[in-house]
Chains A and B, each alone.
Chain A
Amino acid sequence: MRLDGVTIEILKNRFQGIVSEMGQTVLHTGHTVFIKETADFGAMLVTPKGEVFAAPLNIGVTVLIGKPMDAAIKAIAEYHEGDICIANDPDTTGGMATHLPDLFVWKPVFWEGELVCFAWTFIHASDVGGKVPGSISPSSYDLYQEGVVLPPTKVFERGEVVQPVLDIILANCRIPDQNWGDLKSLVAALNTGERRLHEMIRRYGIDVLRDGMEDVLEYAERQTRRIIRDIPDGDYEFSDYMEGEVAGIGVIRIKLKMTVRGDEILLDFTGTDPQVPAALNMPTKSKNGHWMIVPALVKYFKSVEPNLTYNSGMVRPVKVKIPRGTLLNPEPHAASGVRAATMFRVFDVVSGALAQAVPHQVPAAGSGQGCIVLVSLLDIDSGQNKISVVQPLCGGCGGRPMKDGLDGVDFSLGSLRNVPTESLEREMPLLIQKYAVRPDSAGAGKHRGGSGVELVVRCYTPNTVVTARGMERYRFRPWGLFGGRAGTTGFTKLRRGDGKTEDIGQIDILFLNPGDELHFGAQGGGGYGDPLDRDAAIVVDDVRNELLSTQAAERIYGVVVRDGRLDEAATETTRASRRVAAAPAWVDFGPERVAYDASWTPALQDELAAMLSTLPSSLRHFFRVRITERARARLSRGERVDAAELRAILESLRGDLRVEAAASHG
């Protein structure tokens, strides 16, 4: 590092103050509900090479570390003082933007005619056009359905707005005025950042500032390398599934081999399923330290070292390898609106690998779902269409080494706020019957998982349409660790006005009639550690708080509760009789995944992935779905399937296609 340990700390604090002030400026001047309520925006300072050297900790979103700005910077031929650029295109920004609603806006900061660095912001715009209001639909199958595509371009040139560009952008949005209002708040924040940087340069000198940018990055890097050195060298593999049934794309696997060598980590996602014709793709461009790949690592680093400097230096030691054409590195123009759902699963996969490397420092899987439930209906008086978020639905987080998971909230939605029932019922003709913690849902463990959440919504207007994006973990449970049990899956039950109830699972789009009642259950997180080791007094507490039934206390925890009190003697006997000598498996996936993996084995899935990777990426998904179908049908009949068999299926499918083609032409 170029500067001394005092100056670095002072500059780091200064930078931190500037980005926080920029974030606060967006919040203070922004217009849309998205800014105010969900705080889905960010403010950063970025080096000329494209690394984030400062990001706020307490304002806006928490996923700014590892945003790659290099491609966006290079895409602009020449910068002048007063320029402001905009982009949202995942392809030409090299994985900076990962879905179209995120509008990135940046400004070069000059000093005496020379470029020093960039002030940078982004906001999740409430609408950027596309096929549905809000621009995000799980069933979009290419980028063009998701809104206006903006490759990096100037929206201000030397301080003057570039009207044609702005006009085209706004003409493609459903809410041009609000978007322009929000863009202006980003511009205000960029100007604030620029002004403060100029003050710093005047105070400390341009050379110190330039050195300072590099040094704070290097500082974070050194701190992180020290943390990584304490992780034992090795290869750690983990995989988990996305549940794409509702989008018609079946179960999708994300596979990771995490290699730790010295003070570096390689995240290799080879073996992950091909990209899909749905909005779940995550266009990372396989960038090292990519911000949607690293959140679990960033949280881990921050847990080990709370004072860790918060900038992209901390992901310099994290290399990423993702084959092209896969879910996590799709070819250009792939739909990616709901890529956050994928990010949550990547979080689980990285956590799962990490849990093997540093067994007592990582929580079990949380609910793994960040689902946004939207209702659209016709107002019975005005006849107008109304749309509102009902609630963000997530369940509990996983049980943690040393403590229980949190009830009703997971890290995945940790920065989002819910909607007060009193506000929702004023805005929308709906009756919320229940919004509460879901008892008996937590994965059991010495430290249990967080309980899930239940939401019951009663509809009383015609033409009510419910959509949900990001519903996951309806089939495979959040996993438990080191004796902790897997948590519970989510559910959706529909009770029609006539009293019939059906379990409808994941929702894409659902039409309701007056009197219909929709009952959501979000997942309970996985448990951590052997339930028999759980403090009996805490088990009794859970029983008295009616989070755990008396029967479950005895069945799962071996704790006998009579009349709300602990029966110590009976508990001791019960627990002693349950203990087994053998250590439990380090992970509990729950019976559903065990059964799935037992027939459609990871080895077969590896074979298939390798085979598909030799096909053009545009064809992989087609063949993956059909080969999987046929192979699993055979397996379910008790027939053996091996690698050769998979190849045979592929060839036969190809043959069928040729026959089909010949027939249609003939």
Chain B
Amino acid sequence: MSPSYRLGVDIGGTFTDLMLLEEESGDLHMLKTPSVPGAPAQAVVDGIEKLIARERIAPESIAYFCHGTTLALNTIIQRNGAATGLLVTAGFRDVLELQRLRLPNPHHFYADKPKPLVPRRWVREIDERVTADGVVLRSPDPEQVRREAARLCEEGVTAIAICFLHAYRYDVAERLAKDAIQARFPDLYVCTSSEIWPQYREYERALVTVMNAYVGDRMRRYFTMLEERLGGLGVRCAILSTKSNGGVMSAASAGERPVQTLLSGPASGVIGSLYVSRLMGQDHIVTLDMGGTSADVAIVSGELPYSTDSKVGEFPVILPTVEVSSIGAGGGSIAWTDPTGVLKVGPQSAGADPGPASYGRGGENATVTDAYVTVGIIDPARFLGASMLLRGDLARAAVRRIGETLGLDEHEAANSILQVATSNMYAEFLPVLASHGVDPRDYALVPYGGAGPTHAFLLAREVGIRKVIVPPNPGTLCAMGSLVADVRGDFVRTIYSDCDELPDAQLASTIHELEREARDWLAGQGARVDDTVLLRNAEMRYKGQSHEIAVPLAEEMRTAALVAAFHRRYREVYGYHDEAAVVELISLRMTIIGIVPKPILTRLLHPADADVAVRQRPVYLDGKVWNATVVDRRALSPDVPLEGPVIVEQYDTTTFVPPGFRVHADAFGNLIGEAD
């Protein structure tokens, strides 16, 4: 039998990464190809053609194909999606405008709130109303719906979102409106809030529905075209897409619910990190994704962290999403001094163009990357595996200019830039830790992205993390994540009922209904699944509160047992509970996970490549010059630790291990750094 392969693709803003895995041997093959902004499918097809030609494999031997795309995300951030209309219940035209009131930054006179994706003139009121108890006060008149849709179409609208009050539970009116529109305008992209995410809170639900409509048509066409093109290449397997929840779904599902792909990029990175670190028995990790313009962390305590309060651009997203928090800027952050003579780093970034001074593209500002070069962490001749030559002289000159205003030489200035950058990250990182209630000493830091491994140890020693795991391919970890992600679907039913008024039969039937929906969904994804896991949660609270906590739900559970479980859980979280208080069940959530067979990564059976020379280079750090050991990643042997300072170079990043840490490679090719 000829070998079969898995192909993972991650389409980023600059590069499209491909990762090919031979299922039997676990061998990995990587390819980076420039992204094609105007035609995102093109880069995928180009890359696959190149890769299969290079590795001499037959297209039909690709048994698994999964890809992640930022197309939906960029469409929203760049605000170039479909002209979208929104139908709402009469009286609530400004649901997108009023939002939740709270300003993102109320500190100054020029604060703004996110500008809605749908202008007010395209939000139309439908004369319908159902009460919170489901009493229909007015049913929508299909004629009025058609009339409003027709007017919107005349104004150029090509997609319509529908969000009526209380439709999280009573969806008849939304379905009626959708049917009325589709019967008359079959080409419009129409979606309802009850099908996208039936959860109460009208602003947040309307928003995800609008986002879905805003990107829907483009994404559906994209996936259709990708399927055709890949079919043309001879790739026969199902096409899967990554999701914000860290799972994957079929291309067809992604076309219907593109809103679920919005934050799939960061999610894939976390999935990849967790996979790599689990192989070595470590499942309490902090991931650090640091590139040119941003640094993001996720805190994983055995399980993936989920948030239903994420952000896409400025907008809140209530869909379950792998929780990733920004802790500031990346390697492109600009250093400057203010009129008081205090050194600042960021928030302005040099971005990719002109980029850091050392890129030699006209950037005059000293950036964090220039500081790496000046202190000696990055060798300008060997940056990214020498694929890009840096100008050390320009880096030093830019850093020197900063130094002059501070009365410091270039090394001291560069070192100061790194310290201030790290303290910026510290300030953002600490509250993230607190919101998870974790002790950093119990966690390993897993860095990836171009600058992650370069800065990870500096951050670790500042926040008290004692172990750092650098995966073998930190630059393509998202593509790796897409190869190992399970099929994962989330489903919700809003119940919103006092528990003492909730019959056991209703609880049971709702759970069964959710379960059937979940299993049907999984069956339709077309992915090979070894095993199925169902996670059931009840979102509950004491009556009168406005925040719920999640209570795990046993398969057959009576209401009384659920209430008891809630009291216990509440006590665990808050240290006390109140038996006398009325408990509310707000919603039931079900997550179905189709476990896909996991690849086995190559173990480093061969000894380290002894031909690669070990060199020395001075590094300026903490007021001293250190003679750092410089090694190529391939030269690191398992189980022979090196004492920091060590610089490990590889094609997609540079790892810097400061004094006070030891580093060695493990059997999977991970770099393991540990504090002395």
B107 CB within 8 Å of chain A: yes
Question: What residues of A have a CB within 8 angstroms of the CB of B337 in the complex?
Answer: 5
Question: What residues of B have a CB within 8 angstroms of the CB of A434 in the complex?
Answer: 91-92
One of B210-218, B543-551, B638-646 at the interface: B543-551
Is A33's CB under 8 angstroms from B544's CB?
Answer: yes
Question: What residues of B have a CB within 8 angstroms of the CB of A36 in the complex?
Answer: 545-547
The contact of A226 among B120, B339, B547, by CB within 8 Å, is B339
A586 CB within 8 Å of chain B: no
B435 CB within 8 Å of chain A: yes
The contact of B109 among A29, A199, A299, by CB within 8 Å, is A299
A576 CB within 8 Å of chain B: no
CA separation between A394 and B120, bound complex, in Å?
A: 20
Given the interface pairs A10-B419, A17-B426, A418-B100, the reply to whether A456 lies near B431 with Cβ below 8 Å is: no
Q: Which bucket holds chain A's interface residue count?
A: 35 or more
Interface string of A539-555 (1 = CB under 8 A from B): 00100111100000000
CA separation between A22 and B435, bound complex, in Å?
A: 10
Question: What residues of A have a CB within 8 angstroms of the CB of B427 in the complex?
Answer: 13-14, 16-17, 20
Question: What residues of A have a CB within 8 angstroms of the CB of B131 in the complex?
Answer: 425, 431
Question: What residues of A have a CB within 8 angstroms of the CB of B428 in the complex?
Answer: 17, 20
Is B91's CB under 8 angstroms from A400's CB?
Answer: no
The contact of B97 among A184, A192, A408, by CB within 8 Å, is A408
- Nearest-neighbor residue (CB-CB) of B584 within chain A: A426
CA separation between A437 and B337, bound complex, in Å?
A: 44
Is A437's CB under 8 angstroms from B430's CB?
Answer: no
B200 CB within 8 Å of chain A: yes
A414 CB within 8 Å of chain B: yes
One of A144-152, A302-310, A497-505 at the interface: A302-310
Is B102's CB under 8 angstroms from A415's CB?
Answer: yes
Question: What residues of A have a CB within 8 angstroms of the CB of B429 in the complex?
Answer: 17
Given the interface pairs A24-B431, A434-B91, the reply to whether A177 lies near B578 with Cβ below 8 Å is: yes
A158 CB within 8 Å of chain B: no
Which residue, of B132, B406, B433, B574, has the highest number of chain A Cβ atoms within 10 A?
B132
Interface string of A25-60 (1 = CB under 8 A from B): 101110101001100000000000000000011110
Interface string of B337-353 (1 = CB under 8 A from A): 11111111000000000
Chain B residues 629 to 660 lying within 8 A of chain A, measured CB to CB, are none
| Cβ distance B246 to chain A, nearest Cβ, rounded Å | 23
Question: What residues of B have a CB within 8 angstroms of the CB of A177 in the complex?
Answer: 576, 578
Question: What residues of A have a CB within 8 angstroms of the CB of B200 in the complex?
Answer: 420, 422-423, 426
Is A433's CB under 8 angstroms from B97's CB?
Answer: no
A407 CB within 8 Å of chain B: yes
The contact of A406 among B112, B203, B420, by CB within 8 Å, is B112
B202 CB within 8 Å of chain A: yes
| Cβ distance A209 to chain B, nearest Cβ, rounded Å | 14
| Cβ distance B127 to chain A, nearest Cβ, rounded Å | 12
The contact of A21 among B91, B97, B431, B574, by CB within 8 Å, is B431
Number of residues from B at the complex interface, CB < 8 A: 67
Given the interface pairs A9-B344, A13-B424, the reply to whether A181 lies near B576 with Cβ below 8 Å is: yes
Given the interface pairs A17-B427, A196-B430, the reply to whether A5 lies near B109 with Cβ below 8 Å is: no
A512 CB within 8 Å of chain B: no
CA separation between A99 and B108, bound complex, in Å?
A: 26
Is A33's CB under 8 angstroms from B101's CB?
Answer: no
B386 CB within 8 Å of chain A: no
Question: What residues of B have a CB within 8 angstroms of the CB of A423 in the complex?
Answer: 200-201, 546
Is A181's CB under 8 angstroms from B574's CB?
Answer: yes
B606 CB within 8 Å of chain A: no
Chain A residues 441 to 490 lying within 8 A of chain B, measured CB to CB, are 453, 456
Question: What residues of B have a CB within 8 angstroms of the CB of A77 in the complex?
Answer: none
Question: What residues of A have a CB within 8 angstroms of the CB of B342 in the complex?
Answer: 5-6, 8-9, 219
B575 CB within 8 Å of chain A: yes
Is A436's CB under 8 angstroms from B93's CB?
Answer: yes
| Cβ distance B370 to chain A, nearest Cβ, rounded Å | 16
Is A414's CB under 8 angstroms from B339's CB?
Answer: no
B607 CB within 8 Å of chain A: no
CA separation between A631 and B323, bound complex, in Å?
A: 65
| Cβ distance A152 to chain B, nearest Cβ, rounded Å | 27
Is A9's CB under 8 angstroms from B108's CB?
Answer: no
CA separation between A222 and B94, bound complex, in Å?
A: 44
Is B132's CB under 8 angstroms from A14's CB?
Answer: no
The contact of A28 among B105, B419, B435, B545, by CB within 8 Å, is B435
Question: What residues of A have a CB within 8 angstroms of the CB of B544 in the complex?
Answer: 33, 427
CA separation between A184 and B340, bound complex, in Å?
A: 40
Is B94's CB under 8 angstroms from A33's CB?
Answer: no
CA separation between A409 and B101, bound complex, in Å?
A: 6
CA separation between A403 and B110, bound complex, in Å?
A: 8
B488 CB within 8 Å of chain A: no
Is A545's CB under 8 angstroms from B108's CB?
Answer: no
CA separation between A40 and B341, bound complex, in Å?
A: 35
- Nearest-neighbor residue (CB-CB) of A408 within chain B: B98
A513 CB within 8 Å of chain B: no
CA separation between A223 and B202, bound complex, in Å?
A: 43
- Nearest-neighbor residue (CB-CB) of A438 within chain B: B94
Question: What residues of B have a CB within 8 angstroms of the CB of A307 in the complex?
Answer: 338, 344
Is A408's CB under 8 angstroms from B94's CB?
Answer: yes
A413 CB within 8 Å of chain B: yes
B416 CB within 8 Å of chain A: yes
Question: What residues of B have a CB within 8 angstroms of the CB of A421 in the complex?
Answer: 92, 165, 202
Which residue, of A10, A62, A418, has the highest number of chain B Cβ atoms within 10 A?
A10
| Cβ distance B108 to chain A, nearest Cβ, rounded Å | 4
Is A303's CB under 8 angstroms from B109's CB?
Answer: yes
CA separation between A609 and B112, bound complex, in Å?
A: 40
CA separation between A436 and B123, bound complex, in Å?
A: 12
- Nearest-neighbor residue (CB-CB) of A541 within chain B: B119
Question: What residues of A have a CB within 8 angstroms of the CB of B108 in the complex?
Answer: 299, 302-303, 306
CA separation between A545 and B118, bound complex, in Å?
A: 11
CA separation between A541 and B121, bound complex, in Å?
A: 9
B103 CB within 8 Å of chain A: yes
B113 CB within 8 Å of chain A: yes
Is A21's CB under 8 angstroms from B423's CB?
Answer: no
- Nearest-neighbor residue (CB-CB) of B433 within chain A: A21
Given the interface pairs A21-B430, A25-B434, A418-B101, the reply to whether A37 lies near B546 with Cβ below 8 Å is: yes
Given the interface pairs A18-B430, A422-B201, the reply to whether A415 lies near B166 with Cβ below 8 Å is: no
CA separation between A177 and B542, bound complex, in Å?
A: 13
Is A6's CB under 8 angstroms from B406's CB?
Answer: yes
A531 CB within 8 Å of chain B: no
Which residue, of B202, B419, B427, B576, has the highest number of chain A Cβ atoms within 10 A?
B427
CA separation between A421 and B201, bound complex, in Å?
A: 7
Which residue, of A226, A300, A363, A434, has the highest number of chain B Cβ atoms within 10 A?
A434
| Cβ distance A551 to chain B, nearest Cβ, rounded Å | 18
CA separation between A31 and B408, bound complex, in Å?
A: 50
- Nearest-neighbor residue (CB-CB) of A301 within chain B: B108
Is A13's CB under 8 angstroms from B102's CB?
Answer: no
The contact of A24 among B112, B165, B424, B434, by CB within 8 Å, is B434
A4 CB within 8 Å of chain B: yes
Is B107's CB under 8 angstroms from A413's CB?
Answer: no
Residue positions of A touching B, CB distance < 8 A: 4-6, 8-10, 13-14, 16-18, 20-25, 27-29, 31, 33, 36-37, 56-59, 62, 177, 181, 184, 192, 196, 199, 219, 222-223, 226, 298-300, 302-303, 306-307, 361-363, 392, 394, 400, 402-403, 406-409, 411, 413-418, 420-423, 425-427, 431-437, 453, 456, 541, 544-547
In the complex, given contacts A24-B434, A37-B547, what are 17 additional A-B residue pairs having Cβ atoms less than 8 angstroms apart?
A: A8-B342, A17-B427, A17-B431, A21-B430, A57-B107, A219-B342, A406-B113, A411-B103, A411-B106, A417-B100, A423-B546, A426-B132, A426-B200, A431-B131, A437-B97, A546-B120, A547-B120
Q: Could you write out 5 A-B pairs with CB less than 8 Å apart? A: A17-B430, A307-B338, A402-B110, A414-B111, A436-B93
Residue positions of B touching A, CB distance < 8 A: 91-94, 97-98, 100-103, 105-113, 119-121, 131-132, 165-166, 168, 200-203, 337-344, 406, 408, 416, 419-420, 423-424, 426-435, 437, 464, 496, 544-547, 574-576, 578
Across the A-B interface, the 5 shortest Cβ-Cβ residue pairs: A414-B106, A17-B427, A434-B91, A13-B423, A24-B434
